[in-house]
Amino acid sequence: MQSNMFTDISLNHYLVLSSILFVIGMAGVLLRRNVIVILMSIELMLNAVNISFIAFSKYTQNVDGQIMVFFVMTIAAAEAAVGLALAVTIFKRFKEVNIKFFEHLRG
């Protein structure tokens, strides 16, 4: 593949973009302490996956990838709703959203 990396936009570009976004989201999940920010980072990861799905869909000319994205989005919305409801419940109970206070399941 003799082509200019900067001018020829191929599937790989999208996949790399997707993976970088995914890793950023993952870092957020691992490092942030605010429950809500963790939820946001999860949304980032899901979006990253969506990008790769759409890219594959475009480059393989297969519409199934878009369907999958559609499903992922629905699930993500549902997950966000449940996650936030949990966050609200936790906040009501402990007046706190910092995850370091929730270590009740310590073995």
Partner 1 sequence: MDHSILMAVLLLSPFVGFLINGVRYKQATYKISGGIATAAIFISFICSVLLFSELVGLPVDQRKIHVKFFEWLNVDKFKVDAAFYVDQISAIMILIITGVGTLIHMFSTEYMHHDKGVTKYFAYLNLFVFNMLILVLGDSLLTMFVGWEGVGLCSYLLIGFWFTDKDKAAAGMKAFITNRVGDAAFLLGMFVLFSTFGTLNIQEINAMAPTVAETSWMGALTMGTMFLFVGATGKSAQIPLYVWLPDAMAGPTPVSALIHAATMVTAGIYMIVRLNPIFIMTPNTMLVIAIVGALTALMAASIGITQWDIKKVLAYSTVSQLGYMFLAVGVGAFGAGLFHLMTHAFFKALMFLGSGSVIHAMHEEQDIRKMGGLKKYMPITHWTFFLGWVAIIGIPPFAGFFSKDEILWMSFHSPMGHPVLWAIGALSAGMTAFYMTRLMCLTFWGKSRVPKTVHPHESPALMTIPLIVLAVLSVVGGWIGIPEVIGHTFGHIPNYLMEWLHPVLKPIPNLTEAEHSLEWGLMGASVGIASISAFIAYHFYVKSPEIPGKIANSIKPLYELVFKKYLVDELYFKTIINPLIELSRKVWFYVDVNFIDKITYVIADLIKGGGGVTRSLQTGNVQIYAMYIAIGLVVALSIIIIK
Partner 2 sequence: MTSDVFLFWFLALLIIGSGLAVLLFTNPIYSALSLAMTMVGVAAVFITLQAFFIAGVQLIVYAGAVMVLFVMVLMLFDIKAEVQAFSSGKISGAIKLISVGLLSGLIVGGIIMSQKSFVGEMTKDAVHMAEIQKLKKSTSPDASSKELGMVLFSKHIFGFEALGVLLTVIAVGTVALARSRGGTHHAK
DSSP summary character for residue 99: G
Tell me how far, at minimum, the Cβ of 107 lies from partner 2, in Å: 17
Residue 11 in the binding site for partner 2 (CB under 8 A): yes
SS3 sequence, 35-60? HHHHHHHHHHHHHHHHHHHHHHHHHH
| Through-space distance between the first and last CA atoms of the chain, rounded to whole angstroms | 54
Tell me how far, at minimum, the Cβ of 6 lies from partner 2, in Å: 7
Pick left, alpha or beta for residue 61 (phi over 0 → left; psi -120 to 50 → alpha; otherwise beta): left
Q: What's the distance, CA 105 to chain centroid? A: 26
Give the x-and-dash track for 22-61 against partner 1 (CB under 8 A).
----x--xxx-x----------------------------
Report yes or no: 39 and 80 within 8 Å, Cβ to Cβ.
yes
Of residues 33-92, which lie at the interface with partner 2 (CB under 8 A)?
A: 33-34, 36-37, 39-41, 43-44, 47, 50-51, 54-55, 57-64, 66-67, 69-71, 73-78, 80-82, 84-92
Of residues 21-40, which lie at the interface with partner 2 (CB under 8 A)?
A: 21-28, 30-34, 36-37, 39-40
- Contact residues: partner 1, CB under 8 A: 26, 29-31, 33, 99-100, 102-107
